[in-house]
Structure 1
Amino acid sequence: MSSVYKVLGLMSGTSLDGLDMAYCHLWEENGHWEFSIEQTKELPYSDDIREYLKNAIYLSEEDHAQLHIDYGKWLGEQAKTFIEERGLEVDFIASHGHTSHHRPEDGITFQLGDGQVLSNMSGKQVVCDFRTTDVSLGGQGAPLVPIGDRLLFHEYDFCLNLGGISNISFEKDGARIAFDIGMANMPLNYITHKMGMAYDENGKLAQSGKMDEALLKKLNQLEFYHLPHPKSTGYEWFTEKIVPLIEASESTDADLLHTFIHHNCEQIALQVHKYANKPKSTLLATGGGALNNFFMDTLQEKLGTSVTVIIPSKTLIAYKEALVFAFMGVLRLKGITNVLSSVTGAREDSCSGYVFFPENS
């Protein structure tokens, strides 16, 4: 058994729930990577931070640069507190940051959370900004988690992540394929936040609703679903294409939630059935959507008996992305490929991420 890497992974996703911190041990054993998630903490965003991050896309260049620094400082403070409170031995921090801009077709992606400031505040080496190298190579810069799916979760036929966005990864002809399918929690959270609710627990409200057939038809006709992979999407697409449909609908909130869950599951099932290449397949579901019972029951119903949805521990559901970014940090420091061109459409695989060390104060 090789040496154990002790890494703190930091993740903030498009659903804007908060910061996920996962202290992970990673090591190689018998030619395979193994992991354990040792300690975790979820830090919900205050209303102020959530609004600031949500609206970062509209900030002036100067204000955006200031937010990059401020958020990096905040991340560093949270990481330092977590490490000290739990008495953790940390080799380095791997931070995803928070995506404020993602327009890979224009060569633009930006993850908030200045790595140097984060390193200075935490006193630890930092690996961050995992997307820009791939975008500079003509890739989508997303999704990135499939390297973890391939090396840490190879026993499953499909790995589905249900954060703000739904994305999937699987092996096809010896290459890892992955892409954003469409939405997961983003529209659900948008609707519940308008109601003054953080989320719809277990999808109970959604389950009580009825289908809005007209809305479902409009959603299923969206151009993004018909584009070939590699493809990725983000908050810009949601605000431009989805929010107007929600706002124009006269359906009740329960009916909207019901319709979006059915829509999400239909789109996921279409892709899984398209690429399933054996009579019985397994699909690992993680991300916040996997905690929503109605979402999971509807998904299993749409997939039918040929694909079994596997729902892992709540820890893995909630912290898989933070774990994978910790793992990507390990690969970066070892100089091993951590972003796959078969996934992103870049000209070549890359070993991505920028490394920062604390500056002497």
Structure 2
Amino acid sequence: MIKSNYNVVGVMSGTSLDGIDIIYTSYLYDGEWEFEIKHSETVKYSEYWKFILSQLVHKSLDELYEIDNVYSEYLATVILDFIKRNELETIDFISSHGHTALHQPKDGLTLQIGNQQILADILKLKVICDFRVKDLELGGQGAPLVPIGDRLLFSNYDYCLNLGGFANISFENNSNRIAYDICPVNIVLNHYASKLNLEFDDKGQIASKGNINEVLLLRLNSLTFYDEKPPKSLGLEWVETNVFPIIESLNLETEDTLRTIVEHIAIQISKNLNQNESNVLVTGGGAYSDFLMRRINELSNSKIIIPKNKILEFKEALIFGLLGILKERNEVNCLMSVTGAKKDHSSGKILIPKNHI
């Protein structure tokens, strides 16, 4: 008989490199899914790991596989420390997204590091991970993965908008869940904030003091990705190839660069929201930028809803916990309407600790 309640450690590392999100959540299924986040934290990356992860797009496949082994071991120690510190005793399994090292769906390539067998062996727990690979094998983008969770956990919102390394959106359209990446957000904003020796532009204060550069804004808004129809997704490789060169060619003051990027993000997001006073759940680190939120509000008629901190910061880790449960139950956790795969499917890899076989 399939269980109705699960206690899961969900793990997520995003492209903005702000750290590893870890949560311990109880999930209950009684016709609909309910959840309670009991423990949550973001473990900041050391300067060493931040540098290594920022350079992944420049590595060969052999180098990436080598980093994968080391990162898997590191991730296991971080999760184990979280479990011990919170004295967690009842854990059905770990459900981990890992960290995206390579995502080139048009070439049939995707690689999440942190999904190696050593993860389960160190933790002595079942691990469910590597959720993208099967989708690519079925002709999909392998992303985004979160929309099934938006449908099952947050169906009372017209749109779910996440502002992490990239902005991605999820909504129902004629009984199909549609989702896609809109544009880069923190992956670019944080890059330019770092030139001022800051991790990020707190509340968008620096951007708010800058001036829009119309040439840069026009060039960013003219990128061909924005004319493509979904399914579509973005990766750091795309930013390195298409966004940074445009910005660097103009040699602007950093605050003007940040101001123009914020305007670009707000324009692209507002274009993807129906102008009918729909309600939009906004999560991810970008939601902390008061200035960005104000510009999105001013450019759209949608009602922007920012939830409590646990949902705001840990929604993706929460949903990856659910993806693991759906895989465990052999239920659909990846939607063809979202990724463009040949069919809906139950995606992910299950790692059993060797000493438990």
Give the Cα–Cα distance (whole angstroms) in 2 for the partners of residues 254 and 58 of structure 1. Answer: 28
Larger mean CA deviation between 39-48 and 242-251 belongs to 242-251
**Is the partner of 2:204 in helix, strand or coil?**
helix
Give the Cα–Cα distance (whole angstroms) in 2 for the partners of residues 231 and 174 of structure 1. Answer: 19
Give the Cα–Cα distance (whole angstroms) in 2 for the partners of residues 171 and 119 of structure 1. Answer: 36
Counterpart of 1:311 (choices 300, 306, 310) is: 306
1:68 corresponds in structure 2 to: 68
Give the Cα–Cα distance (whole angstroms) in 2 for the partners of residues 116 and 348 of structure 1. Answer: 28
Counterpart contact for 1:115–1:127, Cα < 8 Å? no
Give the Cα–Cα distance (whole angstroms) in 2 for the partners of residues 135 and 163 of structure 1. Answer: 23
The C-alpha deviation readout for 1:322-346, integer Å capped at 9, x for no partner, is 0000000000000000000000001
Give the Cα–Cα distance (whole angstroms) in 2 for the partners of residues 281 and 226 of structure 1. Answer: 23
AA partner of residue 202 (structure 2):
E
Give the Cα–Cα distance (whole angstroms) in 1 for the partners of residues 61 and 176 of structure 2. Answer: 39
Q: How does 1:116-135 map to 2 (within 5 A)?
A: 116-135=117-136
Counterpart of 1:348 (choices 337, 343, 352) is: 343
Counterpart contact for 1:57–1:101, Cα < 8 Å? yes
Give the Cα–Cα distance (whole angstroms) in 1 for the partners of residues 157 and 43 of structure 2. Answer: 30
**Is the partner of 1:180 in helix, strand or coil?**
strand
2:352 corresponds in structure 1 to: 357
Counterpart contact for 2:64–2:101, Cα < 8 Å? no
Q: How does 1:62-211 map to 2 (within 5 A)?
A: 62-88=62-88, 89-211=90-212
AA partner of residue 195 (structure 2):
K
AA partner of residue 317 (structure 2):
A
Counterpart of 2:317 (choices 306, 317, 322) is: 322
1:295 corresponds in structure 2 to: 292
2:43 corresponds in structure 1 to: 43
Mind listing any 5+ residue stretches in structure 1 that lack a counterpart? none
Return the offset for 1:191: 0.1
Return the offset for 1:132: 0.4
1:280 corresponds in structure 2 to: 277
Q: How does 1:245-284 map to 2 (within 5 A)?
A: 245-273=246-274, 279-284=276-281
The C-alpha deviation readout for 1:21-70, integer Å capped at 9, x for no partner, is 011111112x1111111101111111111111121222233322111111
* TM-score, scaled to structure 2: 0.97
Give the Cα–Cα distance (whole angstroms) in 2 for the partners of residues 194 and 36 of structure 1. Answer: 39
The C-alpha deviation readout for 1:296-327, integer Å capped at 9, x for no partner, is 111111113xx100000111111000000000
Once superposed, what is the RMSD of the aligned Cα atoms? 1.2
1:19 corresponds in structure 2 to: 20
Give the Cα–Cα distance (whole angstroms) in 1 for the partners of residues 261 and 309 of structure 2. Answer: 23
AA partner of residue 80 (structure 1):
L
AA partner of residue 58 (structure 1):
H
Give the Cα–Cα distance (whole angstroms) in 2 for the partners of residues 125 and 288 of structure 1. Answer: 30
**Is the partner of 2:198 in helix, strand or coil?**
coil
AA partner of residue 327 (structure 1):
L
Give the Cα–Cα distance (whole angstroms) in 1 for the partners of residues 214 and 355 of structure 2. Answer: 61
2:332 corresponds in structure 1 to: 337
The C-alpha deviation readout for 1:205-242, integer Å capped at 9, x for no partner, is 11111111110000010000001111001100000011
Counterpart contact for 2:159–2:281, Cα < 8 Å? yes
Counterpart contact for 1:115–1:126, Cα < 8 Å? no
Give the Cα–Cα distance (whole angstroms) in 2 for the partners of residues 230 and 211 of structure 1. Answer: 31
AA partner of residue 75 (structure 2):
L
**Is the partner of 2:272 in helix, strand or coil?**
helix
Give the Cα–Cα distance (whole angstroms) in 2 for the partners of residues 44 and 83 of structure 1. Answer: 17
**Is the partner of 2:29 in helix, strand or coil?**
strand
Mind listing any 5+ residue stretches in structure 2 that lack a counterpart? none
Larger mean CA deviation between 244-253 and 211-220 belongs to 244-253
- What is the percent sequence identity of the aligned residues? 42
Give the Cα–Cα distance (whole angstroms) in 2 for the partners of residues 7 and 240 of structure 1. Answer: 38
Give the Cα–Cα distance (whole angstroms) in 1 for the partners of residues 84 and 109 of structure 2. Answer: 36
Counterpart contact for 2:68–2:116, Cα < 8 Å? no
**Is the partner of 1:166 in helix, strand or coil?**
strand
1:225 corresponds in structure 2 to: 226
**Is the partner of 1:360 in helix, strand or coil?**
helix
Give the Cα–Cα distance (whole angstroms) in 1 for the partners of residues 4 and 340 of structure 2. Answer: 33
AA partner of residue 155 (structure 1):
N
Return the offset for 1:153: 0.2
Counterpart contact for 1:115–1:128, Cα < 8 Å? no
AA partner of residue 210 (structure 1):
N
AA partner of residue 98 (structure 2):
G
